[in-house]
Amino acid sequence: MKNTLLTGVALTALSASAALADGHLAFAPGEGPFSWDAYAEYAANAPDLSGQSVTVFGPWLNPEDEIFSSALAYFEEATGADVTYTGSDGFEQQIVIDAEAGSPPNIAVFPQPGLAANLASAGLLTPLGDEMAAWVGDNYAAGSSWVDLGTYADAEGNDQFYGFFYNVNVKSLVWYVPENFEDAGYEIPGSMEELIALSEEMIANGDTPWCIGLGSGPATGWPATDWVEDIMLRTQSPETYDMWVSNELPFNSPEVINALETFGMFAKNDDMVSGGAAAVGSTDFRDSPAGLFTSPAQCMMHKQASFIPAFMPEGVEIGVDADFFYFPSFDGEDLGNPVLGGGTLMAVTDPSDATMALMEFFQQPIAHEIMMAQTGFLTPHTGVNLDAYKDAALRGQGEILQNATTFRFDGSDLMPGAIGAGTFWTGMVDFVGGASAEEVATAIQESWDAIK
């Protein structure tokens, strides 16, 4: 039954023992840096959904599944509904099977918007409507980017808004060791021009600026695609980036060749990269950040996504032993602060009143803050309290998201698999191995032409 105590000021007065009586609320109302007043107002006006249930299916496994369930508990407490989350490492295949069989969950958590777009075009997703699209546009940093990422053509070819992102990762990061920068007198660059100048200053001082490794077993090459995508966002408009990802802009266009050559300025210069250019293609990406921590340091900087601390030496404390800064924009391009990343998208595969109510709950700051406080969850929601992030590193990445003027999803993940997880990867290995940007870009374009 809906908890009638969760209304108005009574919510914040609820004791911890009462709030945690059933053991599923992670934080008692009034506890911690969360938006309790907003939740109190939400709970006071929430529909009574007692006896109704919602199923959610996604890719999150332990411990993320339990943390997500702890956020869902606040919806259950306010509405009386019962929500069940199921995670699977085979989500991408299973959701298609279930949807086509007519037995999907109510809500699916898509790790890639391309898969959601495929289901939308097959008529297997439910549009969320203009009102929810407008909410995302108004309440997410770089809101129009997120609306675009959740808008797909339906079965009739008409664009509709189908989903919004809940849990994001950031790729536009450069990692460094603060002590090394301090000892050498290096300053954090505020523009790409300054980053290039800093790299050249490091070389002049006898330091090696970068550690870069593309090795990743069968997926070798993917770290370079992140470099190229980030550079495309810093040299071209978001619209041009989108045209490149869809191949409306051919892969061997001058704009793309320029991005490849800009990456090559870092990766194909023996003085710029640890081990010289020859080591870039053979160094495993998981081993690549280790050079930051040797004595003397083998490199001063490493560009990689928010997950890379998992591959740093044991005992490294982020914010002390290692830190990061935003991979900056070119001053002269006037393209703002673009951010490259990924994330999971919430979409409705089987609508009901309780299902749509849960989608509306995901708009509440508390639905994000409970996650922010417990795991590596990042959100572009501008209404959240940034103090809710569980550590300073996550808060710093959250601030980068908040300051983004454009967000774009990892381009290779949106391209056809034969390209984004095929010739783009192998082409980057060929490129650092000595092939020219024109040769590589033309080969990738020819592979794209072959599947059209």
**Mean pLDDT score across all residues of the chain:** 93
pLDDT surpassing 80 at residue 444: yes
Beta-bridge mates of residue 153: 159
pLDDT surpassing 50 at residue 227: yes
pLDDT band, very low/low/confident/very high, at 334 (cuts 50, 70, 90): confident
- Segment among 73-77, 169-173, 330-334 with least mean pLDDT: 330-334
pTM of the predicted model, to two decimals? 0.90
- pLDDT at 14 (0 to 100): 34
pLDDT band, very low/low/confident/very high, at 333 (cuts 50, 70, 90): confident
- Segment among 2-16, 260-274, 331-345, 369-383 with least mean pLDDT: 2-16
Give tens-digit pLDDT for 234-243.
Answer: 999 999 999 9
pLDDT band, very low/low/confident/very high, at 7 (cuts 50, 70, 90): very low
- Segment among 63-67, 225-229, 435-439 with least mean pLDDT: 63-67
Q: Which CATH architecture has domain 173-337+412-451?
A: 3-Layer(aba) Sandwich (3.40)
Q: What phi and psi values does residue 395 have, to the nearest 5 degrees?
A: -60, -40
Q: Which amino acid is at 198?
A: L
- Segment among 11-15, 223-227, 246-250 with least mean pLDDT: 11-15
- Give the per-residue SS3 of the chain: CCCCCCCHHHHHHCCHHHHCCCCCCCCCCCCCCCCHHHHHHHHHHCCCCCCCEEEEEECCCCCHHHHHHHHHHHHHHHHCCEEEEEECCCHHHHHHHHHHCCCCCCEEEECCHHHHHHHHHCCCCECCCHHHHHHHHHHECCHHHHHHHCEEECCCCCEEECEEEEEEEECCEEEECHHHHHHHCCCCCCCHHHHHHHHHHHHHCCCCCECCCCECHHHCCHHHHHHHHHHHHHHCCHHHHHHHHHCCCCCCCHHHHHHHHHHHHHHCCCCCECCCHHHHCCCECCCHHHHHHCCCCCCCEEECCCCHHHHCCCCCCECCCEEEEECCCCHHHCCCCEEEEEEEEEEECCCCHHHHHHHHHCCCHHHHHHHHCCCCCECCECCCCHHHCCCHHHHHHHHHHHCCCEEEECHHHHCCHHHHHHHHHHHHHHHHCCCCHHHHHHHHHHHHHHHC
- pLDDT at 23 (0 to 100): 44
Class of residue 72 by CB neighbours under 10 A (exposed 0-12, middle 13-18, buried 19+): buried
- pLDDT at 4 (0 to 100): 35
- Is residue 98 within 8 A of residue 105, CB to CB? The reply is yes
Give tens-digit pLDDT for 180-214.
Answer: 999 999 999 999 999 999 999 999 999 999 999 99
Mean pLDDT of 40-69: 96
pLDDT band, very low/low/confident/very high, at 100 (cuts 50, 70, 90): very high
pLDDT band, very low/low/confident/very high, at 24 (cuts 50, 70, 90): low
- pLDDT at 13 (0 to 100): 31
For the chain, what percent of residues have pLDDT higher than 70?
Answer: 95
Give tens-digit pLDDT for 117-126.
Answer: 999 999 999 9
- State both tokens at 164: 């919004």
pLDDT band, very low/low/confident/very high, at 21 (cuts 50, 70, 90): very low
> For 8-161+342-404, CATH number?
3.40.190.10
Domains 8-161+342-404 and 173-337+412-451 share a fold: yes
Give tens-digit pLDDT for 119-155.
Answer: 999 999 999 999 999 999 999 999 999 999 999 999 9
Domains of the chain: which residue ranges? 8-161+342-404, 173-337+412-451
Torsion angle in degrees (nearest 10) through CA of 343, 348, 352, 354: 0
Residues 6+ apart with CB under 8 A from 90: none
- Is residue 171 within 8 A of residue 305, CB to CB? The reply is yes
